[in-house]
Amino acid sequence: MRILLTLTLMFVVSACGSNTLATIPPTVPPATTMPVSATPLPTNTPLPTNTPLPTNTPQAQPIPTEQLADLAATSIAELPATSTPDANGLADYPGISTVQVRPLTGPGGGLAVVFTSGFRRFEPEQSHYVSIYSRDEQGWRELSRVELGEPDYIDPASVQQVPITPDRVWLTIDGGVGAHGSCFNLLSFDNPQLTSIIESCSSAPGAGNVGDIDGDGRTEVLLNGTDYYVTCYACGLRVFHTTVLRWDGNEFKQLQLTELPSDTELAKLNNEVVMLAKSNRWREARLPLPKLRSLAKGDPIVLTNAGLIEIDGRSFADQAANTALAPLMPSIFYGDYEATLAYLREKPVADLFEVERSQIFGPEVQGFEANMPKYITAAIEPALLLDPTLAPARFLKGWALILADPTDRQGLAEIEQAAQLEPKEPLYAACAAYLKTRG
């Protein structure tokens, strides 16, 4: 066995020509050598939602190590030559020089996935690929291949077999793009065709993932649509958004928050939390979730609603609890109007309307103050559509209008209306009086 592996590795080196292991730029994780052990693909790690995967994780069918090594050697020999290092021994983006080979469980048996890893070359442009191979008495045979147009870098651990349905092989790839972006691919192999089903990109790592959001044993696909550029990427302020898709046997369909038509206690509570979530009032929507799950008793609509609310709701909650950020915008995004008003009450009224001078939004927003009115409006408009009498949202709308245009008379009217709706809140009346004296 040891002699066979040694000869195989010698063949890899001799067949590759200049396909030596590439030097990856320091900002990119180093590529690993090709694995030839018959270990299963790792379990996918969920997005930051703590949603457990089903227990029926696919297990790889045993394929002798020698056969996997033979497939690896053949595949790496087919790669194009990498760039030649310069006089300093360096080569910028030298090109893909490694492949990974792993056994799969799936229809037909004796299946293996082959995929490239490392950093691709841009001139001439190079693409990563994923292939499915089958082995019979004649040896390995490629059944189907998909080229991945977006990923610049693929880490070996980012390609995983996931348990969506047992009738086919499902693979996920979360590849790196640019400085810190990523693209998520979901591939389906139904023997003999490998097909790209979903491709979704993000400006941050973790463009997508899979998980069971409601505990029913089915695997959903979670696509990360978070806005990472509310201010600057490194500033840390985010607007979270996750799209959740579920396979219906023919296609993936997006899950939506759904109301119940009956008048039971469960329906009333379900519809209340759905309304709050649709209003971006995440803090209030999350509070009744334990009771809602207890009342649900397995109701699939209710449990799906609870799962959907918790995915983004928890992210907004964690951001609001982040003491490294000024609390104003995180509280608005979380729909925590109590915390928002508490913060604003502590500030001189003039500071609310001289935001660049006062830095009322916090240092992470400095230089991006002009962007805040549109984000405030986007956060509170859904609440006003469902409840036009919601005084805090009415006040925030007026404040955003005036921040965007100090001469906007509608902004003052909105703040005055908030004062009428909630006359015991001194902040509204104080701001209306200040704006009238300022002219």
Residues 316 and 369 in one domain: no
For residue 224, being part of any structural domain is answered with yes
Final residue of a structural domain among 235, 254, 273 = 254
- Determine the residue type at 22: A
Mean pLDDT value of segment 187-202: 95
For residue 259, being part of any structural domain is answered with no
pLDDT bracket for residue 407 (50, 70, 90): very high
Distance linking the first and last C-alpha atoms of the chain: 87
Residues 198 and 301 in one domain: no
pLDDT at 46: 42
Domain ranges, residue 369: 328-438
For residue 110, being part of any structural domain is answered with yes
Final residue of a structural domain among 320, 338, 360 = 320
Residues 233 and 293 in one domain: no
Name the β-bridge partners of 211.
Answer: 220
418-434 burial by CB neighbour count: b if 16+ within 10 A, else e?
bbebbeebebbbbbbee
Residues 341 and 232 in one domain: no
Token pair 């691709």 is found at: 120
Nearest to 83 by CA among 96, 74, 70, 72: 96
Residues 345 and 235 in one domain: no
Nearest to 79 by CA among 95, 102, 68, 101: 95
pLDDT at 15: 34
Which pLDDT tens digit goes with each residue over 211-259? Answer: 999 999 999 999 999 999 999 999 999 999 999 999 999 999 999 999 9
For residue 133, being part of any structural domain is answered with yes
Which pLDDT tens digit goes with each residue over 161-192? Answer: 999 999 899 999 999 998 889 999 999 999 88
* CA distances, 10 to each of 4, 55, 215 (Å): 10, 40, 49
Mean pLDDT value of segment 274-282: 98
pLDDT at 54: 44
Query: What is the percent of the chain with per-residue pLDDT over 70, rounded to a whole number?
Result: 82
Residues 20 and 132 in one domain: yes
Strands 111-119 and 98-104: antiparallel
pLDDT for 7 beyond 90 = no
Residues 274 and 420 in one domain: no
Residues 245 and 137 in one domain: yes
For residue 87, being part of any structural domain is answered with yes
**DSSP code of residue 182:** E
pLDDT bracket for residue 61 (50, 70, 90): low
pLDDT at 346: 96
Look over the chain and give the mean of its residue pLDDT values, rounded to a whole number. Answer: 85
Give the span between the Cα atoms of 165 and 54, in whole angstroms.
Answer: 11
pLDDT for 16 beyond 70 = no
pLDDT for 17 beyond 60 = no
pLDDT at 107: 65
Residues 65 and 164 in one domain: yes
pLDDT for 45 beyond 70 = no
pLDDT for 78 beyond 50 = yes
Give the span between the Cα atoms of 64 and 374, in whole angstroms.
Answer: 59
Final residue of a structural domain among 205, 235, 254 = 254
More confident of the two residues 312 and 39: 312
pLDDT at 52: 45
232-241 burial by CB neighbour count: b if 16+ within 10 A, else e?
eeebebbbbe
pLDDT for 13 beyond 50 = no
For residue 260, being part of any structural domain is answered with no
Domain count, the chain: 3
Residues 169 and 208 in one domain: yes
For residue 175, being part of any structural domain is answered with yes
Residues 53 and 171 in one domain: yes
List strand residue ranges (DSSP E) for 255-304, in order: none
Residues 196 and 332 in one domain: no
pLDDT bracket for residue 110 (50, 70, 90): confident
CB atoms within 10 A of CB 317: 17
